Structure 1
Amino acid sequence: MTVEDIARYVAAQSVLGKVLKHDRYDVYEIGGGNLNFIFRVQSVSGNSLIIKHAPPYLRMLGEAFALTQERICAEMHTMRYFQTIAPSYVPHVYLCGEERFCFAMEDLREFRLMQNRSDVPLPIYEKLGDFLALLFLNTPPPRLEGYYENAALKRISDEYIFCFPHIADHPALVRVPYFTPRPKSPHFDATIAWLRTRFLEAKEHLLHGDLHTGSVMSDGCDLKIIDAEFAFFGPLGFDAGVLIAHILFDEIHAYCSDQAVHYTKRIQAFFRGFEARAHTVSLAFLRESVGFCGAELYRRLLVPAKAKPLEALPNVSQKAQAYALSETLAIDLVEACLHVESLEDFLARVERRLCPKTR
């Protein structure tokens, strides 16, 4: 859909006219993520909303990489479900337009991506833990297969987390000149295979599927979780592990920039928020979180969608240090995940690599 298409679509939707107070409006493309296009619709009186549209291809890689448009239907259904169980943590969805592969939602103009903020307070991490607890405690109403998850996107997650990064010189990977992966042990490979089995077969909770600091927005007090296109039914530790990996990427950026690191307080706050609502942090959940964290840390070093905190480092020597450190930490966490005995044990393993005294 073009800007003109969006304008005509909005004009035909009475519910969106109410949001815009029936004023004249303009439509702007404001970019998007790896998969979809994002448009802002803003009225002359300042009211606005966001339209998210899925083209028949993966936006990041272009028209040659075809991808089913139905993917956005699963996302809008998942966001609507999240709105019922965690309304303060997601933008309001005004309209689901399955027939045009788009949906309209609240414009978060006062919010910024968490990965672009250096001042995220600890209560935000607690709220992220609270959101995970809500996923843990609630179950969506039964629907037909594919209503909440898209098989094509789950396959992409499977391939780019558990398969391609572990195949030497796979053509889907993007290698950087300052990083050469180390040989991996049979134990590492076996644990990745176990994590993959859990990802594919443990249909326990409806997850966000790509929960990281680039899919969480904050205004410093509140948070909003966006971009649920990779939603799927799986083990809760997957969402937790991916999120923790990206918290650690921010910390690795700070570490390699000779800045203070705060991962202990941030990760503790996340689990504190989870436990406050769920009343438990099971050892199985913690161990899976650690394992999936390691898998996410490792794959971001090799896939096209790199970790933005590492890419933001200003020079090659810092990037080389960050990549090597990320790989070492990833291997440690994957290989040790099934032997972690407590949150303190996990944090101690991280500290061995991110202790300021080891710089």
Structure 2
Amino acid sequence: MSAYRPLTAASLIDYLASHIPLKERLGGNAADWTAREVSDGNLNTVFIVSGPAGSLCCKQSLPYVRVDPTWAMPLERTLFEARWMQSVSAAVGHQIPALYHLDEGLFLIVMENLDTHHVLRGALIQGTAPAGFGARIGEFVGHAAWATSWRALPFEDVHALRDIFSRNLALTRITVDLVLTDPYRRDCQRNRWISPEMDDPVAELQDDIALHAAVERLQERFLSVDQALLHGDLHTGSVMISGDDVRVIDGEFAVFGPIGFDLGMFIANLVMNAYAQPDHDEWMRDEIALLWSSFQHAYQEREENTDTRGDVGSLRAKKAEGRAGSSPWAAERSRFMHQVMHDLAGFAGLEMIRRTIGFAQIADYDAAGDRPSQIEARRRALATGRRLILKAGRIDTVASLLDHV
């Protein structure tokens, strides 16, 4: 435990040199190391420290939002990211970076440096992402969701885990405001859009009472349904890729909630990429279908092949599960997956709207080229987001989802 202070490149090197396991990972002496800041997110500072034997990624919280020092922010967010990594690592294995060190006083985490990887969002914009990444994301969500669910753990363990992440109030408040609320308020100063072309569709959305009622249902789902531990901010900017190696990073928004939230957030970003780059349309459709099928397979595989069960589903017998699709267990599984899809569709709609007119927008739209194309991509995103939110309860399958986008 160390007394908190914002680290610089020089002071970080001194810190790492005083911790033998970290020093050994870098190799040589501190004089041989280099540290460079690579912060590109909204909240934290990130340094890459390199030495003769290897490199480390070091992430530290600031007492404010990095991109807006006037916005005060509790320091604990890196602690929640570390707790998230510890909670899901056994289930997802190499699909997240390895966590090497946590200093709770400095609010500093030291982890594996993914120096051979690239951010998925940038790779999609450039058209260099390998096909099939959707399968890896589906597997990740399926494995993490099962391992932290009431179906996998006794309720005592779920409550203990849920209690940890129920204290992640500051970042959950950001989600509630920026994703679930702000875009639908006329007087919210954090909203922004291209004017005057987008003025009318934004005004229609912010005056749409039927839409607001449907958003309220999703607010309730997010805040009251604790199915599993979520990543909480799963989008193409929080995924690193290198060939077939896909890693999920930045779990600081982790919170218990409906499984469809993570799936919907990620899929929405694929849809918006296709709207900005129409030549990606079939590619993104394929990735969405692959993601959903891989999620179902990963979740169901864990469900069928786990010897121990939580309190939900504890009455199932494996031999009964393996029977033909007419069994009651098959019907219950179908009901569960339909509900995940309902949630997925609704939260995807929320993500498309907030990334188009809210505080934290996406770079994909800039890839549309000229201004008319960018406007068209944004208008499509708003229209599709509204449609998904309103019709979420009737979207049961990935085919139906794709019909609506």
State if a TM-score over 0.5 links the two structures. Answer: yes
Residue pair 1:77, 1:148 contacting (<8 A) in 2 also: no
TM-score scaled to structure 1, two decimals?
A: 0.92
**Counterpart in 2 of 1:310?**
365
Q: How does 1:34-183 map to 2 (within 5 A)?
A: 34-43=42-51, 45=52, 47-61=54-68, 63-117=69-123, 118-139=127-148, 141=157, 142-143=160-161, 145-147=163-165, 150-177=168-195, 178-180=197-199, 181-183=202-204
Q: Call closer, same or farther: CA 1:228–1:259 in 2, change over 3 Å.
A: closer
Aligned residue number for residue 267 of structure 1: 288
Distance 1:125 1:220 in 2: 13
Q: Comparing both structures, which one devotes a greater share of its residues to helix?
A: 2
Matched, 1:25 2:25: no
Return the match for 1:236 from 259, 263, 266. 259
Aligned twin of 1:357: none
1:122·1:269 contact (CA, 8 Å) conserved in 2?
Answer: no
* Partner Cα distance (1:216, 1:51) in 2: 17
The equivalent of 2:313 in structure 1 is: none
Give the alignment's Cα RMSD to 1 decimal. 1.8
Answer whether contact 1:290 1:334 (CA < 8 A) is retained: yes
Q: Name the SS of the counterpart of 2:27 in structure 1.
A: coil
Is the contact made by 1:149 and 1:231 (CA closer than 8 Å) also made in structure 2? no
Report if aligned partners of 1:188, 1:331 keep a CA contact under 8 Å in 2.
Answer: yes
Q: Distance in 2 between matches of 1:204 and 1:51?
A: 31
SS at match of 1:76: helix
* TM-aligned CA deviation for residue 97 of structure 1: 1.1
The reply to whether residue 188 of structure 1 matches residue 211 of structure 2 is yes
TM-score of the aligned structures, taking structure 2 as reference length: 0.82
Q: Which runs of 5+ in 2 are unaligned?
A: 1-6, 301-332
Larger radius of gyration: 2
Residue 229 (structure 2) pairs with residue 206 (structure 1): yes
Please state if 1:219 is matched with 2:225: no
- Aligned partners of 1:50 and 1:105 also within 8 Å: yes
Q: What's the CA shift for 1:15?
A: 1.7
| Aligned residue among 280, 288, 292 for 2:343 | 288
AA partner of residue 186 (structure 2)? A
**Structure 1 residues 220 and 144, CA, compared in 2 at 3 Å: closer, same or farther?**
closer
Identity of aligned residues (%): 26
Secondary structure at the counterpart of residue 86 of structure 1: helix
Name the aligned partner's letter for residue 4 of structure 1: A
* Structure 2 SS opposite 1:174: coil
Aligned residues: 346
Are 1:14 and 2:20 an aligned pair?
yes
TM superposition shift of 1:163: 1.2
